[in-house]
Amino acid sequence: MKLLLKHFLVSIIILINTNIYASSIDLDRIDPPMWWVGMENTNLQLMVHGNDIGTTKPVIEYEGVNIKEVILVENSNYMFINLNISKTTLPGTFTINFKDGKKVKAEYEYELRERKNSPNMHKGFDNSDVIYLLMPDRFSNGNPDNDNIPDMLEESDRSNPNGRHGGDIQGISNKLDYLSELGITAIWLNPTLENNMPNYSYHGYAVTDLYKTDPRYGTNDEYLEFIKSAHSKGIKVIMDMIFNHIGTNYYWKDDMPMKDWYNEWPEFTRSNYRGGAVSDPHVSDYDFNKMVKGWFDKTMADLNQKNPYLANYLIQNSIWWIEYSGLDGIRQDTYPYPDKDFMAEWMRRVLVEYPDFNVVGEAWLPQPQAVAYWMDNNTNKDGYKSNLTNVFDFPLMYAISKAFNESEGWNTGTAQLYEVISQDYVYSTPENIVTFADNHDGDRFYTKVKEDINNYKLAMAFMMTTRGIPSIYYGTEILMTGLEHKGHGDIRKDFPGGWEGDERDAFTREGRTEEQNEAYDFMRRLLNWRKTNPTVQYGDLTHYIPEDGVYVYFRKYKDNTVMVILNNNKESKQVDMTRFAKDIGDHNKGRSVLNRKGWDDLNTIEIPAKTPLIIELTNHRGLRK
């Protein structure tokens, strides 16, 4: 009996020891945290993080899922597992056992979900859209309870222009009707992923968890719900992603997977921010390396996408968000800064899964040819093919910012618009360029036009009727102002009325000033017309060299014609229409889109000073063809 008891006790001690041993690996996370069956690419690479996980061997028993390779790296706290998920694998959950001999030292329940195959999903955005860019921290605070979160380093402080103000996803959801009424069809949010940084965390460009919505904006579920309700109102959602850099507080921080995970320098070295250096045939190695491998900021570590594991991590992360959330498009930050071959491979892999998907890249470059280098199907002399579907039209932004402030001349005024548009031959598909007058990084447009509402209207009418996919920055419709050199807080002010107790609520007619209502009504009419008019969305563009300060162009689609006349003069003009006979064709009547005015004669059109006319042409029977 004594012996038996002794034996029993020994067994218990062994059991306890085994259990302590078995739980000695703290499996911290696996990325991606779950995946899908039925993906085009049957390969999946898991990145496993846990204390000494590299001393174990992963075992999976699930039909259709095979471990092809286990990769151990220099840091034994990481392991990469290459899986093959065969096309016939069924959705479900399986256990990944991390074993040392026969002992299971850690386990993880991995879920493979069914793909969402709704035909309306992942269709991207196109010329029928008008994008509304908004900064989630600065639009509307729908949930004051999430303003401060215990584990988050930066607390809300609305008195600090560079601090967090408390705006969130719930706030944006609450304002979807406002946005729908305005007539926009897509929302681009500045990054919403976790930014657990001590300062300046509100802008979102120093991500500290690529799989988690910042809790001060909401949960991943709230993000999904937001996309669903946006879709139910006919509004698409574009996610902002950043592959060039990552917040220095990412969980890798004190436990780097590999020495070359970041582009490290002997001492802190900034990028030279000279994006054109990447496509420059004469570039020095010194400048090229500094551009691509220099850090964007001290808080933003420069990712080395030449490391194939990091590259996969980023690519799978973007595909994860598309599949997980049903988002409609991606805006990719600082496009020329990461390794360009990696970027082309990323686009290729996204398009393999989602052939109709769109990504708009921020190639912040002043010349059309420099921007065009980054656009899909462009014939670049160095052989580079980006696969990128859309780019932002920075050259046109610079032109719009000046044209309407200037008096007309050979090189000034609307001639600037003409010159930029006339260089469209450099783009494979100029219609896919995203046009904008301002964004979160520069002076507010109303400030750029010196708070002159006539110049503002001319510019907005131009942007909504020329080629491209227009994007407006939140608050443009209520004439928000701000100068970049006063600090980014000045161009990213809170939308009035987004916070309980705000003095004015500019989301309502009563809360807006007379001038704000004038701007809002103008935009609402323009956008809602654009939303239903395929001619202005998809029509071929023919423009005429500006004469006498008047810029005229046509959009034609099937048998329909829209004529736009921009008078940038401080006096009214009688425009002799003879020059435009070919594009007017047999139309002899017209109707103004902006004020319902009609014309029974198209021989001469009088246009008031500093005014846009957008005219739908009709034929002699008074009907649109």
Residue 270 DSSP label:
B
- Which run of H or E residues covers position 223? helix 220-232
Judged by CB under 5 A, which stretch of 160-168, 342-350, 385-393, 444-452 contacts Ca ion?
Answer: 160-168
Q: Among 625, 557, 520, 591, which Cα is nearest to 181's?
A: 520
Rounded to 5 degrees, what are φ and ψ at 461? -60, -40
Nearer to Ca ion, 143 or 561 (CB): 143
Judged by CB under 5 A, which stretch of 49-57, 145-153, 465-473, 595-603 contacts Ca ion?
Answer: 145-153
Question: Binding residue for Ca ion (CB under 5 A) from 56, 141, 174, 611?
Answer: 141
249 binds Ca ion (CB under 5 A): no
CB under 8 Å, gap of 24 or more: what pairs does 279-284 form? Answer: 279/336, 279/370, 279/373, 279/380, 279/382, 279/384, 281/381, 281/382
168 binds Ca ion (CB under 5 A): yes
Judged by CB under 5 A, which stretch of 147-155, 180-188, 191-199, 478-486 contacts Ca ion?
Answer: 147-155
The answer to whether 10 touches 2, Cβ cutoff 8 Å, is no
Judged by CB under 5 A, which stretch of 161-169, 183-191, 359-367, 530-538 contacts Ca ion?
Answer: 161-169
Tokens of 217: 């904006």
Strand ranges inside 123-203, DSSP E: 131-134, 186-189, 193-194
Q: Among 88, 89, 78, which Cα is nearest to 46's?
A: 78
The answer to whether 388 touches 376, Cβ cutoff 8 Å, is yes
The answer to whether 593 touches 538, Cβ cutoff 8 Å, is no
d(CA 611, CA 623): 25
Nearer to Ca ion, 168 or 240 (CB): 168
Question: Binding residue for Ca ion (CB under 5 A) from 166, 326, 368, 430?
Answer: 166
200-229 per-residue burial string, b: 16 or more CB within 10 A, e: under 16? bbbbbbbbbbbbbbbbbbbebebbbebbee
Tell me how far, at minimum, the Cβ of 184 lies from Ca ion, in Å: 23
Tell me how far, at minimum, the Cβ of 489 lies from Ca ion, in Å: 18
Nearer to Ca ion, 154 or 328 (CB): 154
Which of 222, 362, 376, 494 is catalytic? The answer is: 362
Which of 333, 376, 477, 494 is catalytic? The answer is: 333
* Strand-pair partners of 164: 156
Per residue, what are the HEC states of 343-399?
A: HHHHHHHHHHHCCCCEEEECCCCCCHHHHHCCCCCCCCCCCCCCCCCEEECHHHHHH
C-alpha triplet 358, 362, 365: angle, nearest 5°:
135
The answer to whether 507 touches 499, Cβ cutoff 8 Å, is no
Question: Binding residue for Ca ion (CB under 5 A) from 126, 137, 147, 393?
Answer: 147
Nearer to Ca ion, 158 or 531 (CB): 158
Nearer to Ca ion, 146 or 358 (CB): 146
438 binds Ca ion (CB under 5 A): no
Active-site residue 362, yes or no?
Answer: yes
Tell me how far, at minimum, the Cβ of 213 lies from Ca ion, in Å: 13
Judged by CB under 5 A, which stretch of 16-24, 55-63, 166-174, 364-372 contacts Ca ion?
Answer: 166-174
Size of the site for Ca ion (CB under 5 A): 6
Question: Binding residue for Ca ion (CB under 5 A) from 89, 143, 174, 378?
Answer: 143
Tell me how far, at minimum, the Cβ of 476 lies from Ca ion, in Å: 23
Active-site residue 333, yes or no?
Answer: yes
Question: Binding residue for Ca ion (CB under 5 A) from 45, 146, 299, 439?
Answer: 146
Tell me how far, at minimum, the Cβ of 500 lies from Ca ion, in Å: 10
Judged by CB under 5 A, which stretch of 142-150, 348-356, 411-419, 484-492 contacts Ca ion?
Answer: 142-150
Nearer to Ca ion, 166 or 468 (CB): 166
Tell me how far, at minimum, the Cβ of 166 lies from Ca ion, in Å: 4
The answer to whether 203 touches 182, Cβ cutoff 8 Å, is no
Tell me how far, at minimum, the Cβ of 156 lies from Ca ion, in Å: 7
Residue 202 DSSP label:
G
Tell me how far, at minimum, the Cβ of 148 lies from Ca ion, in Å: 9
Tell me how far, at minimum, the Cβ of 396 lies from Ca ion, in Å: 35
User: Residue ranges of the alpha helices (H) in 132-189?
Assistant: 169-174, 176-182
d(CA 552, CA 568): 11
Please return the burial class of 510, using the count of CB atoms within 10 Å of its CB with bins 0-12, 13-18 and 19+.
exposed
Nearer to Ca ion, 142 or 590 (CB): 142
Nearer to Ca ion, 152 or 246 (CB): 152
Residues designated catalytic: 333, 362
Q: Which residues bind Ca ion (CB under 5 A)?
A: 141, 143, 146-147, 166, 168
